[in-house]
Chain A
Amino acid sequence: MMTNNPFAVLAETIPSVFLQGFVITMLSLIVIGTVIQMIHHKNITYFFNNAKKAKLSATRELGAGETAAIIAKTIVHDIATTSELGAGKRRVAHVLGMYGTILFWIATVVLIFSYTSSDSVTPNFWSMMWHVGAIMTCVGGYWFWLFLRVDVLAEAHPWYRIIKADLFVLTLLACATFGLAWSYTQSLNLENRWDDKVFLTLYILSNIALFGGVYWSKFAHMIYKPGAAIQKNLAEADGSRDNLPPFADAPKQFGLGIKREQPKHY
């Protein structure tokens, strides 16, 4: 199963140009959904206005080199490891889901655009990446959704309570889960039975819901959160610090004695 390229098998019945067209349509839906969300929610306007206002209280001007260094450090340290989530289960689950999704999507594009023609042979590496990415997404995503979600952990709601904010994580999990189920049933060689077609249909529907729901879902946090992390570190460096006080000139003498606990004292 892990070395199976489900798209190559599918391309035996459906021309690969349709698969490629589907990927391009999904990419277009991301762009359209994000742009409409930016126009309607005005979050980019708010973000830049806020950054401009914060700059007025800057105590020093950052050079281009220093700015680039801060942005690079933010990408490597803050964004690539989602450090804002602190050290704990939430961060591990998010990193698993994030890299799993990136692998899953990149491998999908490579498999569909490079290895769906009749004369191509899919390298095991890319098939493995597709499956590993989907598994990582499932592990991180289900861990988050069942146990670590703030609704469950801090608000004491049951895990099965579904709200609008779940649209992104649930459709993403549906894509990865149905994708894996589709590949598994395909690898069983059930001789044109219904199983893999059902999972293929569910996989297509969950992709349409995921990418078509960008405007309503939290999909765009992948774009906004890195921007906010960069702005935060630039504000810290230029002295404006979003009006926050400077770090206290005091020794680290209390260790973890008064460290905040997990927020589940409901």
Chain B
Amino acid sequence: MEINYVLDTLFALFAMTLIIFMVPGFAMLEAGLVRTKNVTAVLTVNIMVYAVAGMAFLLIGYSLAFESWDNDGMSKWAAFLFQMAFVGKTVNIMSGGVSERTRIIPLSIFTVIMAAIIYPLVVNVTWGANLLSGTMFDISSMHDLAGCTVIHSTGAWALLAAILIIGPRRGRYTKEGKIRVIPASNIPLVVLGALLLWIGWFGFNGGSVGSISSKENADLVALTIMNTNTGGLAGAITVGLIMYIQYKRFDITMILNGALGGLVSVTAGADIFDIYTPIYVGAIGGAIVVFGVAMFDKLRLDDPVGALSVHLLNGIWGTVAVALFADVSLWDQVKGVLVVGVFAFTSSFVVMYIINKITPFRAADDEQLQGLDIEECGLEAYPEFKRSI
């Protein structure tokens, strides 16, 4: 049916456009959370990640993931664009968590490997051609609608590897064992970024249904987007309440992290949950963020944007939650989490270890003190304001 083909192509292009809103989303979120002296560098990384990852996926990654470009249901170019919209997100998740101390060149080299090989292999064994078919590691029966494990966990496992290799920001953990708080520089940007990500999520999850051109599919897409939104609402409310009960103050950066945690947590099952399940799943997802941010700080894993809590812990929780709240095998979900986790973490660690030997990821202490804007970009984001140290 030609009309279905046209509708689904339009739908994929619309979803892809929404997902691309996550590029400015990540960029603004990170620009607001880092100190003013590192804002240009963080924004440059975001642009480079989008450009390099998209290009690597076009030239190598897409074929590795799906083997063939052929598509019967919609324009194959639309199908490509939709898949390409995801690939940068995996790297964004990782680059945000190592902000303020990481050099742009090694990060760009890792982006090539991630978008051309690591992420496409994860897609291959989950949604794609399936290299592991028939082996004991076959995880294609894991239910992961839009990449709770495939994208969020994969990116965050790479982030964990990166933090282990790069280390914390200079002065973040003092010799006396204290944690030095490094506050956000621009709260309005954090809010704008988080809300752009939220909007992007409607395309991220809704588009992953794959087709809107029948009554059933139209319902399924709408339900998926509704459940996605509910997860975000529940995460924001839960974290708002927890912060107020615990500290008697509302911390908007945590509330937004809670919303994002809620959104990640429903990314695996938004299409098969009933309309109330995302409330529980998202609320737990939000609570996980509060607990996770403190835990990773105790472990001295310095993550300025909370990406480990939002994407790793909730990527795992969201994938497992599908089995707890819907009719899906728990073992399939756990096996998917484990296989992807071991592969994504190990391969990222090895690749980064080698890149790090060739050109170090970590900016030297005096470069960090000066700020990466001057060192890496030669351009300050806020030249008329005094920089805080």
**Co-assembled chains A and B:** no
